[in-house]
Structure 1
Amino acid sequence: MANPHILRDMTGDVWAVGSAYEAYVGRWSRPVAAEFVRWLAVPAGTRWLDAGCGTGALTGTILASAAPSLVIGADLSPGFLRSVPAAVLNADAAALPLATASFGAVVSGLALNFVPDPAAAVAEFARVAAPGATVASYVWDYADGMQLMRQFWDAALEVDPAAPDEATRFPICRPDGLRSAWATAGLHAIETRAITIPTVFPDFDDYWQPFLGGQGAAPAYLARLSPDHQGAIRDRLESRLPRRPDGAIALTATAWAVRGLAR
């Protein structure tokens, strides 16, 4: 029997262990979340919903910098929810058990592309948003801008041409995909922007070890490979990643953000 505490998305990617996710990409979400919340400029005293809140990087940023009256974090993974610093709800972003028009801000960070039906999720965001509420999200730019993943998939594709490259798996992770989803949900005053942050790894092990944690698309893919194939990808990455004189690996990560207003 499958472990009921292990959550897999539609592609078989595993999402359950908060500490492993933090080491992989959770740590990089916080600076993106900070810029995202500043960009939204939601008034103090607003009721917020963070749908697909994961381990709570965006939730914590809202609490720390947006002076909300309430924040609820919703996610399907009980393992992730244990880390969220707010009221939590174990729920599907595409089927929220929440009242219509009940939040002044509905947001989602780094989660929308993992929902089996993103359009249904955005429709739910619009449903629970009060008239005039901000509805917004950000997702990694898997095609070009998320360099730590782009480097991995480029190496993986050399070893295994059938590797499930995230650049092609997630068409919503582009400005036009996000804008279309927001417009289809009936939102208006839609804007998109890129948010780019530095991702600096002190050494190769700090870059590589999170890929062995099994959390997310690339680590889940790597776990399914033979030790020889894993080693071939590792060797390619170790030989080609850019190094500073001190040995650090300095990359950047770009997320695409979208915001709109509920009618």
Structure 2
Amino acid sequence: MTGTDTFQLSLQTARTYEAAFVPSLFADLARQLVDLADVTAGDDVLDVACGTGIVARTAAERTGPTGRVVGLDLNEAMLTVAREVRPDLEWRQGDAAALPFPDGSFDVALCQSGLMFVPDPAAAVAELARVVRPDGRVAVQVWSSLDRQVAFRALADAVARHAGRDAVDLISTYFRLGDQERLTGHVTRAGLRVTGVRTLPATVHAPSIDDYVTTEVESTPLRDRISDDVYRRIREEARTGLARWTDAGGRLALPLEAYVVAARRG
């Protein structure tokens, strides 16, 4: 997450994100992203919009002691949690659209579920291309568009009904770069050669629908902008709309769709 003005999250929200979303969703996607980027021992790797650092941590398992892994995010709360989890890695505050590194500093540049929070995604992709060495690898994971997220739409509809269409933007920003052609266009215009585009099924697991709604709402600024009554009504409608993805014990397995664009410089 890049932490634009809309998403300058609190430390508590960052800790909720790490505790709830990372193990239930982002850890597996991080592994797939690192695999597709072919991160190997000795690589110098940059994780842009690193959030609490799951991609950087996953990459560090591959690079070993001879490599270097740097995580960069604009949001200081996210970086605080990243440092708590892995104080041995290098964490930097910075803007994805103006990376504070010289040209050709890394073998691999990665961005997981963060590009959609950058005001100028094309500039951020160009920066990813700039900081990798000749024949360096770039891999970016984003979410497919909201119209392809059949399960998530049940929550979005509840938010729209009770908090207004503008409120939906706060929880659906994730899906704003869901056009594969648009993203691959950014990649090629940055001077990168696309080597693969892969659609990835993903699943958010939660102990209950209420737990999921809490995590989804309270890891964005939405909670601070709605009343307790509106929050209660969103929960009630979500229980009905998301019930089809629960098991007999009430545990939620919510399907999502993501995709990754992998590329090389030169």
Alpha-carbon distance between aligned partners in 2 of 1:120 and 1:148, rounded to the nearest angstrom: 32
Aligned to 2:211: 206
Aligned to 1:176: 181
Q: Which amino acid aligns with 1:246?
A: G
Aligned to 1:105: 108
Give the aligned CA root-mean-square deviation in angstroms: 2.3
Question: How high is the TM-score relative to the length of structure 2?
Answer: 0.85
For structure 1, the 5+ residue unaligned runs are: 1-6
Q: 1:65 to 1:43 in 2, by over 3 A?
A: closer
How much has 1:151 moved relative to structure 2?
2.8
Q: Which amino acid aligns with 1:96?
A: L
How much has 1:115 moved relative to structure 2?
0.9
How much has 1:165 moved relative to structure 2?
3.6
Question: How high is the TM-score relative to the length of structure 1?
Answer: 0.86
Q: 1:97 to 1:168 in 2, by over 3 A?
A: closer
Alpha-carbon distance between aligned partners in 2 of 1:224 and 1:54, rounded to the nearest angstrom: 23
How much has 1:170 moved relative to structure 2?
5.0
Aligned to 2:134: 131
How do residues 86-101 of structure 1 correspond to structure 2 at under 5 angstroms? 86-101=89-104
How much has 1:149 moved relative to structure 2?
4.1
| Offset from partner CA, 1:119-172 (integer Å, 9 cap, x none) | 111111111111100011112235145566433212112334423445588542
Aligned to 2:9: 15
Aligned to 1:76: 74
Aligned to 2:226: 225
SS at match of 1:261: strand
Q: Which amino acid aligns with 1:230?
A: Y
Q: 1:59 to 1:209 in 2, by over 3 A?
A: same
Alpha-carbon distance between aligned partners in 2 of 1:154 and 1:135, rounded to the nearest angstrom: 35
Checking the alignment, whether the CA contact within 8 Å between 2:113 and 2:174 is kept in structure 1 is no
How do residues 1-263 of structure 1 correspond to structure 2 at under 5 angstroms? 9-10=4-5, 12-17=6-11, 18-23=14-19, 25-27=21-23, 28-67=25-64, 69-84=67-82, 85=86, 86-144=89-147, 149-166=152-169, 171-213=176-218, 215-216=219-220, 220-241=221-242, 242=244, 243-263=246-266
SS at match of 1:163: helix
Aligned to 1:4: none
Relative to its length, the structure with more helix (as a share) is: 2
For structure 2, the 5+ residue unaligned runs are: none
Percentage of pairs with the same residue:
29
Alpha-carbon distance between aligned partners in 1 of 2:53 and 2:34, rounded to the nearest angstrom: 14
Equivalenced residue count is: 252
